[in-house]
Amino acid sequence: MQTKMNVGNISVIGFDADDTLWDNETLFQDVEARFRELMAPYCSGDDASAELFKTEMRHLHIYGFGVKSFTLSMVETALSLSGGNVPGSITTELLRLGQSLLTAPVMLLGGVEEVLRQLSGRFRLVLATKGDLLDQERKLERSGMVSYFHHIEVMSDKRVDDYKEMLRRLDVRPEAFLMVGNSLKSDILPVLQLGGEAVHIPYHVTWAHEATDGVNPTGRHYHRLDRIGELPGLFS
């Protein structure tokens, strides 16, 4: 049984977007699977993935999160793994794979629209996501969910200070804020640290960067659900 929240305290609900409202990580993993195939002349699939991840992490502070940084990292990794000899046809395919992520249809997860419809009448809903600004705006537009949100926040990162700044601008106290998301690292732990409420809804795949091995939040402000459709039940 979930602990019921004190609804009276909550005025704003923040929703993560990727892998909370719509599928995202499986698209990236499909592209990475193709990247591994394309790198087969130079190294094993696992080495290709490891190098790609290293490149992404090395550039995170200048590129930020999202599809375009992932695409640039694939190209750079291909150049480095091939000793600068990767054929133009492969580079072209990597760029095309990146573009396919930017134009992929938005696949809403089950129950999302009903939950947003129910909760938007009772709370201020905020979309709080990382990634490319243009890409996230386009996905939200294509999702058809934009009208349920009072505010869209595309954050450069989701650390405690980033949430603190967002809540300051929204003029909401942490105790009145509930965050819903699939990533313990980005959506849950920083919000709990600030003194907010957090609902973790794990997705079946997680990007390595979001991994938090062995971390198990506890306490009455932490909630865990199997699917988003269970969210309104926390307030009933």
Binding site for Mg ion (CB under 5 A): 16, 18-19, 182-183
Written as six digits, the tokens of 115 are 């939950």
Question: In Å, how far are 12, 75, 175 from 35, measured between CA atoms?
Answer: 40, 10, 44
Question: In Å, how far are 10, 11, 177, 220, 223 from 6, measured between CA atoms?
Answer: 7, 11, 12, 10, 13
Closer Cβ to Mg ion, 96 or 209, answer by number: 209
Closer Cβ to Mg ion, 124 or 200, answer by number: 200
Residue 116 CB, nearest distance to Mg ion (Å)? 16
Written as six digits, the tokens of 28 are 């990236």
Residue 16 CB, nearest distance to Mg ion (Å)? 4
Closer Cβ to Mg ion, 32 or 51, answer by number: 32
Closer Cβ to Mg ion, 73 or 182, answer by number: 182
Residue 158 CB, nearest distance to Mg ion (Å)? 9
Is the CB of residue 179 less than 8 Å from the CB of residue 198? yes
The answer to whether the Cα torsion of 29, 30, 34, 35 is positive or negative is negative
Closer Cβ to Mg ion, 48 or 115, answer by number: 115
Roughly what angle, to the nearest 10 degrees, separates helices 45-63 and 67-81?
Answer: 130
Residue 164 CB, nearest distance to Mg ion (Å)? 20
Closer Cβ to Mg ion, 187 or 197, answer by number: 187
The span from the CA of 233 to the CA of 139, in Å, is 27
Look-up of token digits 């200048």: 62
The span from the CA of 47 to the CA of 52, in Å, is 8
